[in-house]
Chain A
Amino acid sequence: MTDRCLEFWMLARLADEAVAGPETAAWRVHVGRCERCRLELDGIRATESELAALGAAEHARAQATSLGTWNRIQLAAERPALATRLPLRVAGFVRDLAAAAHPALAGATVAMVAGLAAGTWLAVTVDRSPVAAAAAEMYDTSNLLDAASAGLSTSYFDASDATAADTPIATPDDSAPGGQP
């Protein structure tokens, strides 16, 4: 085991003193003999140091530019929470929902989804049934017949169309001067 070069996670664990456990003793022996692993370990440690230095420097910068931070946080923290900003009824509903916690919300969601699914299924099934198709056809036909017999067909057209539609189609006999022989 110690003759083979260490995998990266082993070296990372070695470099991170805080997580190095008892299993690392054999790894250390290997690193002591293997220049390649030692170089890699040194590289990891150097990168970790750079990260820590970068962190410290950026904390200092954030500290220097944090003049307005407190004011913004204070304003935001003193603002009432959403539920208390809502009108009384809505706020009560939101509080009830929150109190009901996840099981009730989950139940309501399942019921809503089931209802939607059932509605969609019914709509699709009823629409495709032969009885419904026949009924729809009868309804259309009877409506048209009723409308035609009541002289309502013009209501489907605008005024100009209605005029044109109501104008009787001239027949050769009608247009002949003198009318009927």
Chain B
Amino acid sequence: MPDDRDDDALMVAVAGGNATAFRLVVERWSPRIEAFAARALGRRTDAEDIVQETFVRVYRSAARYTPSGRFGAWVFRIAGNLVRQELRRRRVRGWLTGNPAVSDESVLASLPAPQHFDADGPLRAAETRATLARALARLPDRQRLAVLLRHFEGLPLRDVAAALDVSEHAAESLVARGMRGLREILG
């Protein structure tokens, strides 16, 4: 049975230990977090780990959440921090092992993006999206995250800034540079 309570009301219930409310929050937001993390990190398993860790943190920090109508910004901030942490860990791992060959680019490009789209739209749209996915994978990490949060997730700029822990101006700049990069790659 669908629950139309808004996120703030659900989070108040979660803070009071209501498991049903927590499940609703998870069902409402986990697909978005997973899609974002998968496109940002390129590995479905890593994205699942990010989703799990994000909601464990949401659960444990529910009492500290201030209902302000910005649950999306809050949850994407947690997920954004975890994604950036994972990207840093990968860089360090690559540096330590001298094997940066596991590039995000190749992994991201290998995501089975077009398969899902074929059923819903014309082949051309699927191809365009696959091309776009590959182009996204070639962007620098921070620009990719900024573009994903702004245009893939549709977050307002101030939430993008919060998720990336930068000023709003810096977030706008990252998004613009990312878009420019995409346009250049796409030709």
Residue of A whose beta carbon sits closest to that of B115: A61
Residue of A whose beta carbon sits closest to that of B34: A62
When distances are taken between beta carbons in the complex, the residues of chain B under 8 Å from A76 are 52-53, 56
When distances are taken between beta carbons in the complex, the residues of chain B under 8 Å from A150 are none
Q: Are the C-beta atoms of A55 and B35 separated by less than 8 Å? A: yes
What separation, in Å, do the CA atoms of A21 and B39 have in the docked complex? 30
- A104 to nearest B CB, angstroms? 22
Q: Are the C-beta atoms of A12 and B38 separated by less than 8 Å? A: no
When distances are taken between beta carbons in the complex, the residues of chain B under 8 Å from A89 are none
- A53 to nearest B CB, angstroms? 7
Q: Are the C-beta atoms of A69 and B35 separated by less than 8 Å? A: no
The stretch that binds B, out of A44-52, A109-117, A121-129, A131-139, is: A44-52
User: Interface size for chain B: under 10, 10 to 19, 20 to 34, or 35 or more residues?
Assistant: 35 or more
Q: Are the C-beta atoms of A62 and B32 separated by less than 8 Å? A: yes
Tally A-B pairs: CB < 8 A.
113
The 0/1 profile, CB within 8 Å of A marked 1, for residues 38-81 of chain B is 11000000001001110110011000000000000000000000
Which of chain B's residues 126-155 have a Cβ closer than 8 Å to chain A? Answer: 128-129, 132-133, 147-148, 150-154
Residue of B whose beta carbon sits closest to that of A77: B59
Using known A-B contacts A18-B156, A47-B182, A73-B55, determine if residue A58 contacts B35 with beta carbons closer than 8 Å.
yes
When distances are taken between beta carbons in the complex, the residues of chain B under 8 Å from A101 are none
Query: Among B59, B132, B172, which residue has its beta carbon within 8 angstroms of that of A47?
Result: B132
Which of B55, B60, B128 counts the most chain A CB atoms within 10 A? Answer: B55
Q: Are the C-beta atoms of B55 and A55 separated by less than 8 Å? A: no
Using known A-B contacts A18-B156, A51-B147, A59-B35, determine if residue A12 contacts B175 with beta carbons closer than 8 Å.
yes
Apart from A44-B179, A70-B30, what 17 extra A-B contacts exist at CB < 8 Å?
Answer: A8-B180, A8-B183, A9-B176, A13-B176, A18-B157, A47-B132, A48-B179, A52-B154, A54-B133, A58-B113, A62-B34, A69-B30, A69-B52, A77-B22, A77-B55, A77-B56, A77-B59
| Contact sample, A vs B, 7 pairs, CB 8 Å cutoff | A13-B176, A44-B183, A47-B186, A54-B129, A55-B148, A57-B120, A58-B35
> Nearest 6 CB-CB pairs, A to B?
A62-B31, A55-B152, A51-B151, A58-B35, A12-B176, A63-B31
Which residues of A line the B interface, CB within 8 A? 8-9, 12-13, 16, 18-19, 40, 43-44, 47-48, 50-55, 57-63, 66, 69-70, 72-74, 76-77, 81
Which residues of B line the A interface, CB within 8 A? 19, 22-23, 26-27, 30-32, 34-35, 38-39, 48, 51-53, 55-56, 59-60, 113, 116-117, 120, 125, 128-129, 132-133, 147-148, 150-154, 156-157, 172-173, 175-176, 179-180, 182-183, 186
